[in-house]
Structure 1
C-alpha cells in the first residue's frame, strides 16, 4: 500500500511546539539549579498567612478591631502553633495575637509606615521570618505583620512561580505556532502551486516549457533546476529520436520505389502479387513516419474546414480501393455544413487512415460507413470483428497491433490520434450499430464570429 505523503507545515508545527516545551523545561530546571546553588535561604514564610488574618478581622460596636476565628485561621494556628501577627488600620487601631519576638516589636509600633516586606532571620533562623502585607478588607485598609507561620521551601516556591508563568507562556506560544506556521508555510510555498500547474501542462506536444524558479523558496530552487535540466535532456533525446525516424523513412523511400519497379517487371503471378503487397505496406509505413514528422515540424494553419465536404471527398477517393477489397463504401451527413477550425490536409489524412484501417481489418465484406454529425464528430464504421474493449486504448500506441501477423505497421491510428489531439479533439472506439468497430473523432465546432 502506498504510503501517504506527510505535510511539511504540520511537521514544522509539532516539532516547533516540542522544541518550545524542551526550551521552557530547560529554563525551569536551570532556574531551580541557580537558586539551589545561590546563597538564598532554604525556606521562606508563606505570605498567604497575612491574607488569612486580614480576612478574619472585623469591628465591634465601638469600632475596635476584633478577630473572628475562621476555619482558615484555625487551620493556620494548628499548622504553626507559634504563629503571631499584628494588624493596624488607617485609624491607628491595633490588634495583636501571639508571642511577638522583641526584634519585631519596634517594627510593629511603626507598622502603618510599611506596605510590603519579606523578613528573613539571619543564619536561617525561621523564628525571625515574617511578612508585611497591605489589604483592602471589609473594615477598610489593613497593614498586617505576621511571623512564625507555615514555612515553604524556596526552590518549591520558585518552581511554582515559574510554572505559573511558563505554562501560560507555553500555551500562548503553542497557539501562535499552530496559527502562524501554516500561514507562513502556505505563503512561502505559494509559488509551488504555480510550478505544479506549469508541470501539469507539459506533455509531448508542448515541449520546451520549463518550470519557473522565481516565486519558490531558495531551498526548492535546486530541485526546479534539476527538473528543468531533465526536461532539456528528454527534449534532446526526443528530438534525436524523431530525426532518426524521419531520416530513416526518407531514406527508405528510394530503395522501396526501386524495389517496386523491379517487382513490376517480373512475370505476373501469385508471388509477384504478394511481394508487391509487402512493398506497398513498406511504402505506407515510410509515408506515415514522414507524416508524423511533418506534424511536429509544420505550423498548424487553422482554417474553416467543412467536415461534410471533406468526408465526401475521402469517400469518393477511397471508394475504388474499398470496392476492390470487397466492401461497400457509404457516406452519411446532414444538409447543413459542419464547420471546424483545423488543418485541412492533416484532418483529411486522419480520416483516410481510419477508412484504410477498416479496409485492412474488417474482413473483406460488409459496408464501411463514413458519417458526419452536427456536433462536429466523424465516425468510420465497419461490420468486421471489431476491437476488443481491453485493446481500445492501446491500439493508438505507435507500432501496436492486435495480432503479430496483422497487416500494417501500427502507425495509422497513432497518426490519427496525434492529428486529433493537435486539434483539441478526442478519438475513441465504440461498438458499431451492426457489429464491428466504430472509430469516433470529436472536434470542437468553429464558433460563429
Structure 2
C-alpha cells in the first residue's frame, strides 16, 4: 500500500536536491562564462603551486605535486616564482617577463590577490599570503591547467559556502516537507473522521467542503454525490418494503379466514403453515421498516427487568414446544442502559424465537443478563458454523432450507443494536449450541 507521506517526502527531497545541484551548476557556468580564460587558468595554477610550497630551516622548498607536474607538462609557456624575502624558488625564469610591480616584504602583513595585464595571454597573477608567520609571494603566468583541475579548484573554493547553504537549504526543505505532509495528513484525517461519523442508515453527502483544499474538492464532491444517491436508493427501498408489507396484511387476513374454511384437514394444515410463514415475513418487514423510518425515543431501561417481562410473555410458547428455559443474572443487577424498551423487547423475543425454532428435543434455553448491559441467549441446539455467522444477520438468510422462519429475525436484532450503537456477537455455547450476545453502551460514556 502506497504511503502518501512517504511519496511526498521522497519527491520533495529529490526536487530539493535537483534544485540545489542546478544552482551549483549555474554558479559554475556563470563563473566560467564571465571569467577571462587566461586569468582563470592563472588562478588555478597559483593555487596548485601554493599547495606544494613548504618552509624549512634552509628556506623555501617546492614539492612537485602530481597536479603541478601535469600543468608543467601541458604548459610550454608556464613560469612561476615563489619568494619569502629570504629565498626564491623559480621555474622557467627565461619565460618570466619583467614584473610590473614591486611588493615589499618588509611592510605590513597583507594577504591579497592581484591580476596584472587584463585577460590576455600576458596576464599575471600575484598571490600574497601568510604561512607560519612568514609572508610569501607567488607569481605565475602561462599556466594551462586542464578543465578537471579547474573544476576541482572551483568546487574546493565553494565547498564551505555550499556546505552552509546546503545545510540551511536542507533544514528549510525538511521543515517544508514536514509541514506539507502534516497539513495534507490532517486534511485527509478530518475528511476520514467526517466520513466515519456519517450515519449508515442515512448516508447523505455530509463530507465538509468549506475548509477542503481545492485539490480534494473533486473527490469530496464525488463522494457526497455517491452518498446522496445511496441514501435516495435506500429511501426508495424502505418505502417499497413498507408499502408492500402494509398492502399484504389485508390479503393475508382474508386468506387465513378462507384457509380455516377448507374441509380437507391435511390441506388446511399445509395452507395454514404457509400463511403463518407469510404473516411472519410481513410482520418482520414492517418491523424493519418502522426501525429504519422512525426516530427511536431513548430512556433509562433496566435490561434484567425487560428480560423477565419478555420471558413471562413467551413462557406459553416455550413450554408448548417442550423446551426448558432459565433466567440468570450476574454482576451489577441495578445498572440501567439508555435504550428504546420496545425494540429491546423485540430483539430478545426474536432471539428466543430463533432458539426455539432450532432447538432439539428436550432442549434448554438460558437467558442471561450480565452487569446490566450485556444480554445473552444461549441454546444447546445444532449450533452455527463459524464461517456462516457473518451471513446469518443478512435478510432472508436461514440456517436451514427447511426452517419455518422468515430469515429476518437476526436482521431485525442487528438493526436494533445498530440503532443503540451496540454490538451483536454470535458465539459457541459451551457443550454445543449457539450463544447470541447483545452488548449495549453505558449511559454515561457510550462505551461498550
TM range (shorter): 0.7 to 0.9
Query: C-alpha distance in 2, partners of 1:437/1:288?
Result: 22
2:102 is equivalent to residue 108 of structure 1: yes
Query: C-alpha distance in 2, partners of 1:78/1:353?
Result: 98
Query: C-alpha distance in 2, partners of 1:204/1:372?
Result: 29
Out of 36, 49, 59, the position equivalent to 1:68 is: 59
1:350-369 alignment runs, 5 A limit: 350-363=347-360, 365-369=362-366
Please name the residue that 2:395 is paired with: 398
Query: C-alpha distance in 1, partners of 2:437/2:53?
Result: 96
| Runs of at least 5 residues in structure 2 that lack an aligned partner in the other structure | 73-77
Out of 141, 144, 149, the position equivalent to 2:137 is: 144
Out of 141, 153, 157, the position equivalent to 2:150 is: 157
Please name the residue that 2:316 is paired with: 320
3-state SS of 1:316 partner: helix
Query: C-alpha distance in 2, partners of 1:363/1:109?
Result: 119
Tell me how far 1:246 sits from its aligned partner: 1.1
Please name the residue that 2:75 is paired with: none
Out of 194, 214, 220, the position equivalent to 1:218 is: 214
Q: Is the 8 A contact 1:32 1:155 kept in 2?
A: no
3-state SS of 2:295 partner: coil
3-state SS of 1:132 partner: strand
2:126 is equivalent to residue 132 of structure 1: yes
Deviation string for 1:267-308 (max 9, x for gaps)?
261221221121111111111111111112222211122223
Q: Is the 8 A contact 2:41 2:150 kept in 1?
A: no
1:142-221 alignment runs, 5 A limit: 142=135, 144=137, 146-147=139-140, 151-153=144-146, 156-157=149-150, 160-162=153-155, 164-165=157-158, 168=163, 169=165, 173-174=169-170, 176-205=172-201, 207-208=203-204, 210-221=206-217
2:432 is equivalent to residue 439 of structure 1: no
Query: C-alpha distance in 1, partners of 2:345/2:128?
Result: 102
Q: Is the 8 A contact 1:86 1:108 kept in 2?
A: no
Tell me how far 1:407 sits from its aligned partner: 1.6
Please name the residue that 2:246 is paired with: 250
3-state SS of 2:139 partner: strand
Query: C-alpha distance in 1, partners of 2:352/2:329?
Result: 16
Tell me how far 1:172 sits from its aligned partner: 5.3
Query: C-alpha distance in 2, partners of 1:174/1:199?
Result: 37
Please name the residue that 2:232 is paired with: 236
3-state SS of 2:376 partner: strand
3-state SS of 2:191 partner: helix
Tell me how far 1:201 sits from its aligned partner: 2.9
1:230-379 alignment runs, 5 A limit: 230-267=226-263, 269-333=265-329, 336-363=333-360, 365-379=362-376
Tell me how far 1:312 sits from its aligned partner: 2.0
Out of 417, 421, 428, the position equivalent to 2:418 is: 421
3-state SS of 2:304 partner: helix
Tell me how far 1:51 sits from its aligned partner: 4.5
Query: C-alpha distance in 2, partners of 1:108/1:180?
Result: 55
TM-score by length of 2: 0.80
Give the paired residue count.
428
3-state SS of 1:393 partner: helix
Tell me how far 1:423 sits from its aligned partner: 1.8
Query: C-alpha distance in 1, partners of 2:249/2:203?
Result: 29
Query: C-alpha distance in 1, partners of 2:63/2:10?
Result: 50
TM-score by length of 1: 0.80
